[in-house]
Structure 1
Amino acid sequence: MKEHKARKRFGQNFLQDTRIIRDIVNAVRPQPDDTVIEIGPGLAAITGPLAQKLNRLHVIEIDRDIVGRLKTLPFADKLVIHEGDVLQFDFHSVPGKKKIVGNLPYNISTPLLFRLSEVADDVIDMHFMLQKEVVERMVAEPKTNDYGRLGVMLQYFFDMEMLIEVPPESFDPAPKVDSAVVRMIPVKHRIGEAEDFEHFSKLVKAAFHQRRKTIRNNLKDMATDEDLQTVGINPQDRAEHIAPELYVALSNHLSAKAV
């Protein structure tokens, strides 16, 4: 079969390290009847080992050439191939609680993670290969340099853990950055529930708009000092000092005031 060349526009870097592949599959722990969706199967490095353990595997792939290759694989009869852009894919179209896995294209990873947050209630767990820097931001705690909007928003939906660090030479072509595998499990019991999620999202975005400014300055059009202090936020603090549950509390306080 003709060799497939990685396409830059699709952010393709193909995993080829057998040890990392084994570790990812072991982390996913696929059982025969599990509903599993793989995003970006590429040259089937993870697809093959997953398919060996599953009765059926859903894969989402945008590259037409790779779709053609997938159809010729020995385990093709186990694959349900969804050709298209994962950012447009309706995850609810695959029935049942699902496991989602993938070596995510780094050029769309952040919008895709936000998109996947929308289906958290429909998910058992997710395991993704991502740029290590992104994973560090996802799992970051308050009062650290990596803590920001991405971490606050994803930690609202998921408990997350960095599982495996992956060097560039594990891929072909080798990316210019280190990678890591993250496990994401939907939060079962939230400390606080955002009553108006759209407002909560806008609030967090505004809070981190200019990181060097105080929360008072960044939220001056949304909240007074009294509002901040009511939920336990020091107006002089910067956004990265404030825990996710305090953003939820502030959003709910402001939403209640607006009624």
Structure 2
Amino acid sequence: MYTLKKSLGQHFLKDEAIIQKIVAALLQHPFQNLLEVGPGAGALTKALIQINNIQFKAVEIDDEKVPYLKNKYPVLVDKIIHEDFLTITKPFNETFTVIGNFPYNISTQILFKILDWKDDVPVVIGMFQKEVAERAAAKPGSKTYGVLSALLQPFYEIEYLFDVPPESFNPPPKVMSGVIRLVRKGDTLLVKSDRAYMVLVKTAFNQRRKTMRNAVKSLFDATILQDEIFNRRAETLSIHEFAALTFKMS
């Protein structure tokens, strides 16, 4: 058997209906290679390994879960990467889809890791704490729109698919969960550089209660800061407006 580890943010999915909804969402976009992040006790894994004609791998850091999974599902013997997802090298040489009931304590870091692989990951289906899922999918002007939204959305269309209640897990988390789907955009946002865009967005949202003029004044010449756009707050700017501003940065 195995134990649940709070330190790894483990809440294992047990609701069969939710598992089938996740798999149905996954199958809407064809793929050859699939990576599951954090299979845990294998609730989702057991459905994924039944998908025909794909290459499947799973990343699991927990020393206890790896032998448990290999014993329960012998097909996994040579398919588990026993490492920390945040430090692994790219698991496939071709493009691959990522899926997972992501550990809540590192879920945003998981998304930023996937962003490093964005040209090789056309689709992501992920379960998150509802608040994180909503932030990823949020549009400008909403209270949930922020750094996560503005850094992911230049590269991915993000759709909030459905809620998952606490009782769908063992143990039940204290919060609602949500499943989102990220689909790689064909056209990438035109920016001065990815780094300039990232610095601008992070600086702007670091002091989101201030106007842009006060929040990002270190990044622009005084004459540029007279533009009316700097009267606004970060959460009102679209990713296209942030992108355009990168070309005016000092």
Is the structural similarity TM-score above 0.5?
A: yes
Which runs of 5 or more residues in structure 1 are unaligned?
A: none
| CA-to-aligned-CA distance 1:184-221 (integer Å, 9 cap, x gap) | 0111113x322311121111111011111100000111
Could you tell me which of 162, 182, 207 is aligned with 2:160? 162
| CA-to-aligned-CA distance 1:62-94 (integer Å, 9 cap, x gap) | 001100011112442575110010000112x41
Letter in 1 for 2:87: Q
Distance in 2 of aligned mates of 1:102 and 1:143: 29
**Offset at 1:36?**
0.3
- 1:58 corresponds in structure 2 to 57
Q: Does 1:139 align with 2:123?
A: no
For these two proteins, the number of residue pairs brought into alignment is: 249
- 1:244 corresponds in structure 2 to 239
Could you tell me which of 181, 191, 194 is aligned with 2:191? 194
Q: Is the 8 A contact 1:51 1:75 kept in 2?
A: no
- 2:148 corresponds in structure 1 to 150
Q: Is the 8 A contact 2:147 2:202 kept in 1?
A: yes
**Offset at 1:56?**
3.4
Could you tell me which of 226, 229, 235 is aligned with 1:234? 229
- 2:209 corresponds in structure 1 to 212
Structure 2 length as normaliser, TM-score?
A: 0.93
Structure 1 length as normaliser, TM-score?
A: 0.90
Which runs of 5 or more residues in structure 2 are unaligned?
A: none
For residues 1-259 of structure 1, the aligned pairs below 5 Å read 2=1, 4-29=2-27, 34-54=32-52, 55-77=54-76, 80-91=79-90, 93-190=91-188, 192-224=189-221, 226-227=223-224, 234-254=229-249, 258=250
Distance in 1 of aligned mates of 2:247 and 2:122: 28
Structure 1 residue matching 2:172: 3-state secondary structure: coil
Distance in 2 of aligned mates of 1:149 and 1:157: 14
Structure 1 residue matching 2:122: 3-state secondary structure: strand
Distance in 2 of aligned mates of 1:19 and 1:168: 14
What do you get for the CA RMSD once the two structures are aligned?
1.9
Instruction: Indicate the percent of aligned positions where both proteins have the same amino acid.
Output: 37
